[in-house]
Chain A
Amino acid sequence: MQPITVLNTLGVALAAANVDTDQLIPARFMKEPRSVGYGQFLLYDVRHDEQGRPDAEFILHRPNAANAEVMVSRRNFGAGSSREAAVYALVDYGFRCVVAPSFGDIFASNAVNNGLLPAVVEEDDAERLLAALGDAPAAIDVDLEQQVIRVAEVEVSFSISPVWRTKLLNGWDDIDMTRQHADSITDFAARYLARYPWTTAQPPESTIISKG
């Protein structure tokens, strides 16, 4: 995973609350293999009309939006479905950071697992950033080491769990990290299953019987 330290890039304002993962990627696109690139599906129904024609006014269709790497939005970003495809859509589009006053829990974990920084700011600061960005892509700096975001004269700090910060700064991967603990897992499993033996799933003798 590509580490993140400092981004000096373009940002876009998505001035809406509750941008849920169903909006970030509608369910009908999730049958596609990742190799097709999920960026084309990002916010598809928000930025296209029913005939699939792009809304030229939408922020992602403005000049230079394709180069934006930071999205600023309102509270409860990424709420809802656990679909990691919502993060794939953002990442494949080119985003490396989303800034919002709060995130859906599962979305935030998924983001970090794909090198996308979920930066949490105060509600007032989100409004200041949205105002400073305006309705066209604009210059933005995100510094993960200092936990600071700058747009023109506006400078705000953001929070992120120290564990996630370390993971993102180093581009670490959980499976590699966990496999270093393989022996403790084996020991734990033996102790645990001896103490709670019923948690080993015993296939039923008859497969169909169920209580009504």
Chain B
Amino acid sequence: MSTPTTLFDKVWQAHEVHRSESGQSLLWIDRHFVHEGSFHAFNKLAERELPVARPDLTFGIADHYVPTVARDLAGVADPKVRSMIEQLSHNTQQHGVTLFGLDDPRQGIVHVLGPEQGLTQPGMVMVCGDSHTATHGAFGSIAFGIGASEVAHVLATQTLWQSKPKVMRITVDGQLAEGITAKDIALTWIARLGADGARGYAIEYAGEAIRSLSMEARLTLCNLSIEGGGRCGMIAPDQTTFDYLRERPWSPQGEAFEQACAYWSTLYSDPDASFDLEVTLHANEIAPTVTWGVSPEEALPIDHAVPDPEQLSDPAKARQARDSLAYMGLTPGQKLTDITIDRVFIGSCTNARIEDLRAAAAVLAGHKSRVPGMVSPGSTLVKTQAEAEGLDRIFIDAGLEWRHSGCSMCVGMNGDLVASGERCASTTNRNFKGRQGPGARTHLMSPAMVAAAAVNGRLADVRTLAADDNATVQASGAH
């Protein structure tokens, strides 16, 4: 009988080209995504006069620097931003790499586009020069972010040297209550284990609550693996995965799909497989969660108050909390629901898929946002779909801007920035100092929670907001 094996080990072993004496593995790469920021890597390739080894397995996506106001390159005021987009077109064209460019109807954020197009498939090893590449692990692939030197290495060889990480399993038992999302699962485990709690580990998410998640929600959960320090995050593929992939443009078609599906069905952790670390949560421990500080680990359920550093016994934690509260302009012990906001942002590779937009629109419908804000769909196809469903009208009627797709205000590279000192309720992934702009203050939360914050002008519990709405409906129905 063969040794019980984890999902991670099954995929890893299938990709091992060579193992060095020191124990490093040279891994075959199935999919490599490049974006505007990959120019350093293309320059390294040019210095060595090397071709791209497998242009057919390399895909270019314009997302980090693209304008969201219009799809017009000439309209980009900053010549350096324009040049970033142009360099990607030039480099992909020169090497015969497929480009999903600014004016492509399929354009989108790489981690939304890959799954949507069927480029992301179970059992693959996938890399991109972007730390949120872990997203693609939702399909049961090993997917992780790499730096420019590694991007150059993959371009030149279609392989990458990696030391095998340890494997941890995060199990979420039970069923999530109404209003609790994948974002809340992620912020809860990161708050519990720390922003480096999964450092050195590949994560497998398992359990009843995970199995019940839609493909979109699984993508959100795996996306945030890096925020807890994980090398990657993955979920065993199942019928939800297969149904999602069937008839996607780049999915295998017909007989090939059935053949692939038969293999994909073998990709799960064997019942007796052992993990280096096991963490278990129960779904009923998870509440709508928001961040209050400048690291994703600084997160709490919405009905809590921000910590008082004087009450923290660990001096390192007290020091960090004091620094975070100063940057965020918050008072020790202040209730989270008393925090007023200046702006909202709905977008990013974390939470800008169609389900996310539906969830936010459901809360906003019939309401006005008390603060300005923008919505940037995760891809142009998501945008088209949302418009077909009338979601754009809900956002616009609420007073929010309906933008084109891109990384936008999550990272601000295209100029979509939160002003210094402004407080933004955001569906994104990082509340780091200055992430959304110098001096910007970010609170991370789910799309429905951002919508609830918009309606209230302050952080709010979407569960009580929904209850109030029902009460209003019932009251008006009685008249």
Contacts of B354 in A (CB 8 A): 212
A-contact 0/1 string along B100-131, CB 8 Å cutoff: 00000110000000001101010110000111
A199 touches B83 (CB 8 A): no
In this complex, how many residues of chain B approach chain A with their Cβ under 8 Å: the count is: 92
Complex: A183 Cα to B163 Cα, angstroms = 22
Q: A28-B412, A201-B56 are in contact. Are A113 and B147 (CB under 8 A)?
A: yes
A189 touches B435 (CB 8 A): no
Complex: A109 Cα to B152 Cα, angstroms = 14
Which residue of chain A is the closest to B411 with respect to CB atoms? A27
The one of B14, B17, B149 in contact with A181, judged by C-beta atoms closer than 8 angstroms, is B17
B199 touches A105 (CB 8 A): yes
Does residue A76 face the partner (Cβ distance < 8 Å to B)?
yes
- Interfacial residues of chain A within 99-122, with CB under 8 A of chain B in the complex: 102, 104-106, 109-110, 113-114
Does residue B281 face the partner (Cβ distance < 8 Å to A)?
no
Chain-A contact segment, one of B18-26, B303-311, B337-345, B392-400: B18-26
Complex: A17 Cα to B317 Cα, angstroms = 10
Does residue B12 face the partner (Cβ distance < 8 Å to A)?
no
B229 touches A76 (CB 8 A): yes
Q: Which of A79, A82, A162 has the most chain B CB atoms closer than 10 A to its own CB? A: A82
Contacts of A32 in B (CB 8 A): 80
B432 touches A22 (CB 8 A): yes
Does residue B295 face the partner (Cβ distance < 8 Å to A)?
yes
Does residue B249 face the partner (Cβ distance < 8 Å to A)?
yes
A201 touches B119 (CB 8 A): yes
B146 touches A201 (CB 8 A): no
Complex: A31 Cα to B79 Cα, angstroms = 10
Contacts of A17 in B (CB 8 A): 316, 320
B147 touches A82 (CB 8 A): yes
Does residue B81 face the partner (Cβ distance < 8 Å to A)?
yes
Contacts of A184 in B (CB 8 A): 17-18, 26
Which residue of chain A is the closest to B128 with respect to CB atoms? A82
B123 touches A109 (CB 8 A): no
A16 nearest CB across to chain B (Å): 7
B161 touches A174 (CB 8 A): yes
Does residue B439 face the partner (Cβ distance < 8 Å to A)?
yes
Contacts of B244 in A (CB 8 A): 211
The one of B23, B28, B144, B156 in contact with A189, judged by C-beta atoms closer than 8 angstroms, is B28
Does residue B438 face the partner (Cβ distance < 8 Å to A)?
yes
Q: A27-B413, A31-B83 are in contact. Are A200 and B56 (CB under 8 A)?
A: yes
Contacts of B129 in A (CB 8 A): 82, 84
B433 touches A185 (CB 8 A): no
Does residue B365 face the partner (Cβ distance < 8 Å to A)?
no
Which residue of chain B is the closest to A179 with respect to CB atoms? B157
Which residue of chain A is the closest to B438 with respect to CB atoms? A45
Q: A27-B412, A181-B26 are in contact. Are A207 and B106 (CB under 8 A)?
A: yes
Contacts of A175 in B (CB 8 A): 48, 50, 152-153, 156-157
Does residue B248 face the partner (Cβ distance < 8 Å to A)?
yes
Complex: A13 Cα to B445 Cα, angstroms = 34
A-contact 0/1 string along B423-453, CB 8 Å cutoff: 0000000101111001100000000000000
Complex: A75 Cα to B229 Cα, angstroms = 12
Complex: A23 Cα to B430 Cα, angstroms = 12
B5 nearest CB across to chain A (Å): 17
Complex: A128 Cα to B386 Cα, angstroms = 56
B200 nearest CB across to chain A (Å): 7
Contacts of B331 in A (CB 8 A): none
A28 touches B158 (CB 8 A): no
- Interfacial residues of chain A within 146-187, with CB under 8 A of chain B in the complex: 161-163, 166, 174-175, 177-179, 181-182, 184-185
Q: Which of B124, B131, B150, B420 has the most chain A CB atoms closer than 10 A to its own CB? A: B131
B149 touches A84 (CB 8 A): yes
- Interfacial residues of chain A within 7-28, with CB under 8 A of chain B in the complex: 16-18, 20, 22-23, 26-28
Contacts of B257 in A (CB 8 A): 198
The one of A16, A23, A113, A166 in contact with B150, judged by C-beta atoms closer than 8 angstroms, is A113
Does residue B185 face the partner (Cβ distance < 8 Å to A)?
no
B247 nearest CB across to chain A (Å): 6
A104 nearest CB across to chain B (Å): 7
Which residue of chain B is the closest to A48 with respect to CB atoms? B438
Q: Which of A16, A105, A177, A212 has the most chain B CB atoms closer than 10 A to its own CB? A: A105
A22 touches B435 (CB 8 A): yes
Does residue A50 face the partner (Cβ distance < 8 Å to B)?
yes
B357 nearest CB across to chain A (Å): 12
Contacts of A174 in B (CB 8 A): 149-150, 153, 161
28 A-B pairs (CB sep. < 8 Å):
A34-B40, A34-B43, A79-B195, A79-B229, A80-B432, A81-B411, A82-B131, A82-B147, A83-B37, A83-B147, A84-B149, A85-B40, A87-B147, A104-B199, A105-B229, A113-B150, A163-B23, A178-B156, A181-B18, A181-B26, A188-B18, A188-B28, A192-B14, A196-B260, A199-B121, A209-B249, A210-B117, A211-B244
Add 7 more A-B contacts to A196-B260, A198-B121, A201-B59 (CB < 8 A). A26-B434, A81-B130, A81-B430, A82-B147, A184-B18, A189-B28, A210-B106
